[in-house]
């Protein structure tokens, strides 16, 4: 892996472009990180650059607890003693990352799920923060972005840069993979609608480049969610289990899944079904030891 390149977005706000972007707010040589990247190497690269600049990392703010956002926490915290801030529901997963593959698998995760993409090294959250409003004694502000995970936040800097975590997926990724991990469909749709109303902000998605307007990206995300829901409605005209539904969706979209993708997308399909049950689009049938879903 080559050196990460730090890109300046405004007076005090920067980001490291990576597999999962890392936000940086620097003032008077003190650095606040927004997430820490996907693994130990991400932490190492950030530390290398910060040391070159003679800056000091004071705090990591984790937008949420997925492994690709907290992967550098342990490396950085061990070497700097920095604080780590996160919301209440995300904190247990950061302190005890084994919860993530367990949660996604719905039980003890087999060995193939115990990899860096789902299982980060443990780090210690020192400060539990609200999901909206000022973040501790910093000039940064949290913005509640529910839907992708349990209590995800965005982080806005005083120079009008908003790090949107995994609330927004760039169009090229949406069109390539079609189904992306979501925990709560209704909340996610509300988050996308809310973000479209924000103006005079530079948006930094975790898996894309900064943009000045997110209306088009949000609309692409919303349209794809509605498309997947319609596909589920169509497939479930004949009762299907969640696993059968995932199989047929993968066939329709030409998707081949590895073990990580399988648990992520099966969990996502269950989130869609929960949403569609609340909307009275589908119903549950218990049939000889099978839980099946059928269009109403």
- What one-character-per-residue DSSP string does 224-269 give? HHHHHHHHHHHHTTS-B-HHHHHHHHHHHHT----HHHHHHHHHHH
Provide, for the chain, the percentages of residues in helix, strand and coil under a 3-state DSSP scheme, each rounded to the nearest 5.
40, 20, 40
Name the fold adopted by 6-166. Answer: Metallo-beta-lactamase; Chain A (3.60.15)
Going from N- to C-terminal start, the domains of the chain cover 6-166, 227-295
The confidence score (pLDDT) of residue 70 equals 98
Cα separation, 43 vs 71, in Å, equals: 8
Token pair, residue 148, equals 């992708």
Look at residues 148, 156, 248, 250 and name the one whose alpha carbon lies nearest to residue 207.
148
The reported pLDDT for the residue numbered 5 is 83
Paired tokens of 58? 């004071």
Q: Please state whether 209 falls in left (phi above 0), alpha (psi between -120 and 50) or beta.
A: beta
At residue 92, the pLDDT reads 98
What residue ranges in 20-63 does DSSP mark as E strands?
22-27, 30-34, 56-61
Q: Which CATH class is domain 227-295?
A: mainly alpha
How remote is the C-alpha of 111 from its chain's centroid? Answer: 23
pLDDT at residue number 4: 74
Q: What is the pLDDT of residues 196-254, one digit of tens each?
A: 999 899 999 999 999 999 999 999 999 999 999 999 999 999 999 999 999 999 999 99
Residue with tokens 């890109």: 7
- In sequence order, the β-bridge partners of residue 33 are 24, 60
Neighbour count for residue 253 (Cβ, 10 Å):
13
pTM of the model: 0.96
Query: Low-confidence residues of the chain, pLDDT below 70?
Result: 1-3
237/12 Cα distance (integer angstroms): 54
What is the distance between the alpha carbons of residues 108 and 120, in angstroms, rounded to a whole number?
Answer: 16
């Amino acid at each position: 892996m080559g050196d990460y390149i730090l890109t300046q977005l405004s007076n005090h706000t920067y980001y490291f472009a990576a597999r999962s972007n890392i936000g940086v707010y620097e003032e008077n040589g003190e650095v606040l990180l927004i997430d820490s990247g996907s693994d130990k190497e991400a932490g190492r690269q950030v530390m290398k650059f910060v040391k070159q600049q003679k800056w000091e990392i004071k705090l990591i703010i984790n937008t949420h607890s997925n492994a690709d956002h907290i992967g550098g926490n342990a490396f950085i915290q061990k070497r700097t003693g920095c604080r780590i801030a996160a919301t209440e529901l995300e904190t247990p997963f950061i302190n005890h990352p084994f919860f993530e593959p367990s949660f996604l698998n719905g039980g003890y995760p087999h060995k193939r799920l115990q990899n860096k993409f789902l299982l980060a090294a443990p780090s210690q959250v020192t400060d539990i923060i609200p999901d909206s409003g000022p973040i501790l004694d910093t000039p940064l502000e949290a913005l509640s972005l529910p839907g992708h995970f349990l209590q995800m936040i965005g982080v806005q800097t005083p120079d009008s840069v908003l790090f949107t975590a995994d609330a927004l997926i760039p169009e090229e990724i949406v069109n390539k993979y079609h189904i992306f991990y979501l925990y709560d469909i209704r909340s996610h749709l509300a988050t996308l609608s809310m973000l479209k109303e924000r103006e005079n902000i530079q948006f930094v998605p975790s898996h894309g480049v900064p943009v000045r307007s997110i209306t088009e990206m949000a609309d692409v995300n919303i349209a794809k969610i509605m498309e997947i829901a319609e596909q589920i409605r169509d497939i479930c005209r004949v009762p299907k289990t969640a696993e059968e539904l995932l199989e047929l969706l993968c066939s329709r979209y030409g998707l081949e899944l590895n073990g990580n993708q399988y648990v992520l997308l099966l969990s996502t399909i269950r989130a869609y079904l929960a949403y569609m049950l609340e909307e009275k689009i589908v119903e549950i049938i218990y049939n000889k030891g099978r839980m099946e879903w059928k269009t109403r």
